[in-house]
């Protein structure tokens, strides 16, 4: 009888633990990334923030950027990033992000900042050069930028792991208490 009870508790613990880990998130297809880049032409230029992408396209090994927020600083003047521009609207952007370096395509991504200014950041790697370049609608063009992007961990994955661990510990404790009697 005790063996069947222990087996039932272990099975329930296993099912609940792994079930909570594998529950799909409501935004499972959306990935959130932190990004930052910097460089200069005659003045220093930098930008940082977050963007949201679709899930990885395994065929092209790319994500599509769908939203962007953050700030861009040009010569000490801070501009709010207002929105992502549609592909091909400015600077022939395609709004694609590779899963690894070089993160951007030769077309890159474009966004709008305060003051009705458009900005395009893109990779120089396919031209046989290193780094990234930025151009904006005020005819500023700069090369030799650095660009970094990193995924923000999904909260549900971390939460599911914590819940599964807590259930497992609770079940072990309960088993020890029942065998001590």
Each residue's pLDDT tens digit, 19-45: 444 444 444 569 999 999 999 888 999
SS3 content of the chain, % helix, strand, coil (to 5): 30, 40, 30
* pLDDT tens sequence across 60-102: 999 999 999 999 999 999 999 999 999 999 989 999 999 988 9
- pLDDT the model gives residue 28: 52
Extract the tokens encoding 84: 């992502």
Bridge partners, residue 40, by sequence: 44
* pLDDT tens sequence across 126-166: 778 889 999 999 988 888 899 999 999 877 655 566 676 76
Distance CA 103, CA 42 (A): 25
């Amino acid at each position: 009888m005790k063996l069947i009870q222990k087996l039932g508790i272990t099975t329930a613990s296993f099912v609940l633990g792994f079930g909570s880990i594998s529950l799909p998130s409501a935004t499972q297809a959306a990935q959130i990334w932190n990004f930052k880049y910097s460089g200069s032409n005659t003045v220093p230029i930098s930008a940082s923030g977050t963007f949201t992408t679709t899930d990885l396209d395994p065929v092209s090994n790319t994500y599509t950027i769908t939203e962007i927020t953050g700030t861009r600083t040009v010569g000490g003047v801070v501009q709010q990033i207002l929105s992502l521009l549609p592909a091909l609207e400015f600077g022939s952007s395609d709004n694609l992000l590779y899963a690894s370096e070089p993160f951007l395509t030769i077309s890159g991504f474009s966004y709008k900042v305060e003051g009705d200014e458009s900005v395009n950041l893109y990779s120089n790697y396919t031209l046989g050069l290193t780094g990234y370049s930025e151009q904006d609608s005020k005819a500023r063009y700069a090369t030799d930028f650095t660009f970094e992007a990193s995924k923000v961990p999904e909260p549900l994955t971390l939460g599911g792991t914590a819940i599964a661990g807590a259930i497992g510990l609770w079940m072990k404790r309960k088993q020890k208490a029942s065998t001590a009697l």
